[in-house]
Amino acid sequence: MSKRFKISPGGKLAGTIRIPGDKSMSHRSVILGSLAEGVTHVSGLLEGEDVLATIAAFRAMGVNIEGPDEGRLVIRGVGLHGLRQPQHDLDMGNSGTAMRLLSGLLSGQSFPSSLIGDKSLSSRPMRRVVHPLTEMGAQISTAEGGTPPLQIRPADGLRAINYQMPMASAQVKSCLLLAALYAEGKTCVTEPAPTRDHTERMLRGFGYPLSSDGSRICLEPGFRLTATDMVVPGDISSAAFFIVGASIAPNSRVEIKNVGINPTRTGILFILKQMGADIELKNERTVGGEPVADLVIQSASLHGIHIDEAHVPLAIDEFPAILIAAAVASGETILSGAEELRVKESDRIAAMARGLTNIGVDITETADGMRVQGGQIQGGTVDSQGDHRIAMAFAMAGLLSNTEIMIEDCDNVATSFPDFQSLAESCGLNITVINQ
């Protein structure tokens, strides 16, 4: 069965809402809670399919995890050396984060393992983790073409590396930091541009020391993780659809409570504000080592910009939504330096280019981004390519379209935002889900 979203044109967004927990932090709280000594309580967890895959993997490795129950988990950590050999392949579903982070962790274990994924994940590049892990001495192989499944055999001891990452990727950075917990010597990873730093913050939160100096982060083995309580804030990447929807639909006002505003994640706020958006941050505070705020978004008339390439890694998951804003802004918006979008859950440049063209938007696709001429959205049918963020972004386009927008292949919205439809509907989006 495959879900479609039917969006009837028009409407505005209004209300005070909470969005689901941050996906990146939810994965990491399961991983680090499992490796800690003692009992970790997590609240605010995203109960999306991606995170459930990570939970299932740690259960298969002998970790006792209770929940999730209304965003709460109780994890009885087994310590850094307490994982057991799983009796079956570990299925990471749609989640690149789960697969790449676990590849590093599993490379340091004394048992073999095998990581598999769904159709989308099975076509995503894994050499970006396999190359540096192999340099550390890991015994890890991919399918031909450098894609999953990943087969991992126990290494004869991992050794530390100094690694200059060729691309800005928090998944690669985090993979190597997790492998470094098991490597002899001090591993240092240098990133070409800042990426989300939840792994570093959370390792420290579990009492594990790290040193960082500008873009270089170093970690040595020999310490331990101590259980703690983790409070996961709302995911700015899920808030993104409502931020864009409220910005573009006239007479909208949405307040989104409890959103994570870690500076490595807030590129969308810079970019939309540069386009003229009216976004206010209220009640800024720190929760569990992460900055959090309530966001108030009111409609504004947006104009096109050339997006600063320095903001791209800080908004990497938000471009489907941002490109919908660009489609209705006055003038041209140029996105460049975003070739990483081609290797996400779908090729997001191609998927957005095709979808925008189908609904009557004038765009030019480029190798590393696209140019969008803002104007009137017509309507039509869009293939989400099974990509959750493409589906949710086009749903918001319906707020300003002339005719209906039909979005195909929306099942994977459940990977990051299981209640998207009911929340969007409660705010005023004319969305109907059709089960085929």
3-state secondary structure of 53: helix
> What's the number of CA atoms in the CB half-sphere (13 Å) around residue 341?
31
**Number of residues this chain uses to bind ligand S3P (CB under 6 A):** 10
User: 374 to each of 302, 305, 325, 392, 407, how far by Cα in Å?
Assistant: 9, 11, 8, 19, 21
* Bridge partners, residue 218, by sequence: 188, 211
DSSP string, 105-123: HHHTSSS-EEEE--TTGGG
Is residue 97 a contact residue for ligand S3P (CB under 6 A)? yes
Give the separation between CA 265 and CA 318, rounded to whole angstroms: 9
* Binding region for ligand S3P (CB under 6 A) out of 8-16, 106-114, 163-171, 201-209: 163-171
Q: Among 29, 171, 299, 415, which residue interacts with ligand S3P (rule: CB under 6 A)?
A: 171
Task: Draw the binding track, 246-275, toward ligand S3P (x: CB under 6 A; -: no contact).
Answer: ------------------------------
Q: Among 174, 238, 299, 412, which residue interacts with ligand S3P (rule: CB under 6 A)?
A: 174
Q: Among 60, 316, 335, 363, which residue interacts with ligand S3P (rule: CB under 6 A)?
A: 316
DSSP string, 15-37: EEEE-PBPHHHHHHHHHHHHHSE
* Binding region for ligand S3P (CB under 6 A) out of 142-150, 170-178, 289-297, 376-384: 170-178
308, exposed or middle or buried, with CB in 10 Å at 0-12, 13-18, 19+?
middle
Residue 426: partners with Cβ closer than 8 Å, 6 or more residues away = 15, 17
Q: Looking at this protein, which amino acid is placed at residue 150?
A: L
For residue 89, give both structure tokens. 């392949």
Is residue 235 a contact residue for ligand S3P (CB under 6 A)? no
Closer of 104 and 374 to ligand S3P (Cβ): 104
Is residue 429 a contact residue for ligand S3P (CB under 6 A)? no
Decide if 317 is catalytic.
Answer: yes
Pairing state between β 187-190 and 216-219: antiparallel
Closer of 80 and 316 to ligand S3P (Cβ): 316
DSSP state of 311: G
Q: How many CB atoms lie within 10 A of CB 222?
A: 8
Closer of 228 and 262 to ligand S3P (Cβ): 262
Let me know how many helices (H) and strands (E) the chain has, helices first. 12, 25
Q: Among 169, 384, 401, 412, which residue interacts with ligand S3P (rule: CB under 6 A)?
A: 169
CB of residue 387 to ligand S3P, shortest distance in Å: 11
* Binding region for ligand S3P (CB under 6 A) out of 30-38, 167-175, 264-272, 377-385: 167-175
Q: Among 47, 49, 191, 317, which residue interacts with ligand S3P (rule: CB under 6 A)?
A: 317
Task: Draw the binding track, 9-28, toward ligand S3P (x: CB under 6 A; -: no contact).
Answer: ---------------x----
DSSP state of 310: G
Selecting among 317, 383, 387, 409, the annotated active-site residue is 317
CB of residue 332 to ligand S3P, shortest distance in Å: 26
Closer of 387 and 408 to ligand S3P (Cβ): 387
> What's the number of CA atoms in the CB half-sphere (13 Å) around residue 184?
6
Closer of 22 and 91 to ligand S3P (Cβ): 22
Task: Draw the binding track, 338-367, toward ligand S3P (x: CB under 6 A; -: no contact).
Answer: --x---------------------------
The binding site for ligand S3P (CB under 6 A) comprises 24, 97, 169-171, 174, 196, 316-317, 340
Cite the active site residues.
Answer: 317
